[in-house]
């Protein structure tokens, strides 16, 4: 193995081997057996099994159209991108989350006080019909994460009165518990590889009472908050691919808190430029580096994970948001959630921004890759469209394919394959499923 790693390093693609391991789908978690269901989606929790799904060449992207109350379905290989709009029963659909098994797309509705409600919708990725709405009792259900070891989604709520996590059974499609946290407006959630603990970020803030909401640790089995870590509004978080550490951005204090997932202790505070407001975080698959959007200064921060230190900042665009990495692509896409209509392309071998791509609207809020790394869809939050991109391995570039006009307020993005012959995709049946 070392011989091949040395060869890969000489060619500048050593990270791809680590990506194949991190995203290829391990069968065992530390301390618990991983679900048999195949998983591929950006919910901050391992595993992400692109290796199993890479032969599913036909797929579609799901994009909530927040201002128009619809879910857009985009097929990048159909004429006109095969756009289909599915109307929702509630206003302001915000983010989609594809559950293990790749059948159900869970969608939260961030009403932003435009008709408050407490609903989460479940859309069938193959029939394109809503099968159920779940009410959790608190307005503005928000980001969520799926457990690697059981049929469970844990989501937050960002209503001004919120401060809970909601546990939902992804098999029975029922709410099973709501648990009060120590902070306000629960946001990003990450779950340990053994399925035991969930880390919970908060974005509550009261300038008169001070900062509200550090990182809570939930013992999932006991359904009890067992620790509260970090200072201030620690809202945006990710777990390393090896599951050893979680990073959360404490944006009002200008640092990122690093937490050991076994000891549940803070092992470092990574300082970022003053008032840069660190935001969303992504780990490179070999866990050598992590990338953070520095919202207020329009830059990507590069973090050395071993040193727990910011080693570089790269100019990107206004309100730099998230970095999107794929296991078979040596480039990443950085979204700029401001008034520019661009995304930035990051060479993750060199840790340099190498060019920008013009999009079809401003506010490039979110993006997602297809499992085979051929296509990406970028949502343009401040416009009426999404932008379809494609990675071309012949010249090693990401290129714009075209505009998908879907409606105003396009937000999160998730990908799912077409499949038939099975109800859910599993590690046992995926080879027999038709694409």
Q: What is the DSSP string of 121-169?
A: EEEETTT--EEEEEE-SSSSEEEEEE-SSSSEEEEEE-STT--EEEEEE
Give the model's pLDDT for residue 338: 83
Give the model's pLDDT for residue 14: 40
CB 342 within 8 A of CB 358: yes
Query: pTM score, two decimals?
Result: 0.92
Phi then psi for 14, rounded to 5 degrees? -60, -30
Closest Cα to residue 411, out of 100, 111, 58?
Answer: 111
* Cα 78 from chain centroid (whole Å): 26
What gap in Å lies between CA 320 and CA 322, rounded to an integer? 7
List Cα–Cα distances, 30 to 42, 46, 47, 172, 285, in angstroms. 21, 12, 12, 26, 18
Tokens 């799912």 correspond to: 416
379's CB contacts (< 8 A; 6+ apart) are 63, 364, 365, 366, 367, 386, 410, 411, 412, 413
Give the model's pLDDT for residue 300: 97
pLDDT in tens, the chain (435 residues): 433 344 334 334 444 444 444 444 444 444 468 899 999 987 677 777 899 998 899 999 999 999 999 999 999 999 999 999 999 998 889 999 999 999 999 999 876 666 667 899 999 999 999 999 999 888 888 899 999 999 999 999 988 777 899 999 999 999 999 999 998 899 999 999 999 999 999 988 777 766 667 899 999 999 999 999 988 789 999 999 999 999 999 988 899 999 999 999 999 999 999 999 999 999 998 999 999 999 999 999 999 999 999 999 999 999 999 999 998 899 999 999 888 899 999 999 999 999 999 999 898 989 999 999 999 999 998 889 999 999 999 999 999 999 999 999 998 999 999 999 999 999 999 999 999
What gap in Å lies between CA 15 and CA 21, rounded to an integer? 10
Buried b (16+ CB within 10 A) or exposed e, 238-249: bbbbbbbbbbbb
Describe the crossing of helices 14-24 and 2-11 by its angle, rounded to 10 degrees: 120
Give the model's pLDDT for residue 139: 84
Helix residue ranges, H only, 331-415: none
Give the model's pLDDT for residue 43: 66
Q: What is the DSSP letter of 282?
A: E
CB 109 within 8 A of CB 102: no
27's CB contacts (< 8 A; 6+ apart) are 33, 34, 427
Give the model's pLDDT for residue 231: 82
Give the model's pLDDT for residue 62: 98
Give the model's pLDDT for residue 10: 39
What gap in Å lies between CA 35 and CA 40, rounded to an integer? 13
**What are the chain's domains?**
2-417 (2.130.10.10)
What gap in Å lies between CA 86 and CA 361, rounded to an integer? 22
């Amino acid at each position: 193995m070392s011989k091949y790693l040395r060869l890969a390093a000489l060619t500048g693609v050593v990270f791809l081997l680590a990506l194949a391991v991190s995203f290829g789908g391990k069968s065992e978690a530390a301390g618990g057996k991983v679900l048999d269901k195949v998983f591929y989606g950006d919910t901050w929790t391992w595993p992400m099994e692109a290796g199993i799904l890479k032969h599913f060449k036909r797929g579609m992207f799901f994009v909530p159209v927040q201002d128009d109350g619809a879910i857009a379905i985009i097929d990048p290989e159909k004429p006109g991108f095969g756009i289909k709009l599915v109307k929702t029963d509630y206003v302001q659909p915000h983010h989609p989350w594809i559950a293990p098994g790749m059948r159900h797309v869970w969608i939260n509705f961030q009403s932003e006080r435009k008709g408050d409600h407490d609903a989460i919708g479940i859309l069938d990725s193959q029939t394109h019909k809503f099968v159920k709405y779940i009410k959790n009792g608190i307005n503005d259900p928000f980001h969520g994460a799926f457990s690697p070891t059981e049929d469970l989604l844990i989501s937050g709520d960002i209503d001004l009165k919120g401060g809970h996590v909601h546990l939902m059974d992804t098999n029975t499609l029922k709410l099973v518990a709501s648990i009060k946290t120590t902070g306000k407006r629960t946001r990003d959630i990450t779950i340990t590889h053994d399925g035991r603990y969930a880390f919970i970020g908060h974005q509550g803030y009261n300038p008169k009472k001070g900062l509200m909401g550090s990182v809570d640790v939930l013992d999932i089995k006991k359904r009890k908050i067992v620790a509260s870590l970090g200072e201030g509004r620690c809202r945006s978080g990710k777990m390393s691919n090896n599951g050893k550490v979680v990073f959360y951005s404490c944006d009002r204090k200008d640092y990122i808190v690093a937490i050991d997932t076994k000891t549940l202790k803070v092992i470092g505070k990574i300082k970022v430029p003053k008032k840069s407001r660190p935001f969303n975080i992504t780990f490179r698959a070999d866990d050598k580096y992590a990338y953070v959007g520095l919202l207020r200064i329009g830059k990507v921060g590069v973090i050395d994970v071993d040193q727990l230190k910011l080693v570089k900042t790269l100019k990107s665009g206004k309100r730099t948001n998230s970095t999107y990495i794929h296991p078979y692509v040596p480039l990443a896409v950085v979204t700029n959630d401001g008034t520019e209509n661009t995304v930035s392309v990051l060479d993750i071998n060199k840790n340099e921004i190498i060019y920008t791509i013009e999009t079809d609207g401003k506010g490039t809020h979110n993006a997602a890759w297809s499992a085979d790394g051929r296509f990406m869809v970028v949502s343009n939050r401040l416009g009426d469209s999404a932008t379809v991109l494609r990675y071309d391995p012949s010249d090693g570039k990401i290129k714009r394919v075209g505009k998908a006009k879907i409606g105003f307020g396009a937000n999160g993005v998730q990908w799912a394959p077409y499949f038939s012959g099975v109800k859910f995709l599993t590690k046992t049946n995926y080879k027999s499923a038709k694409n």
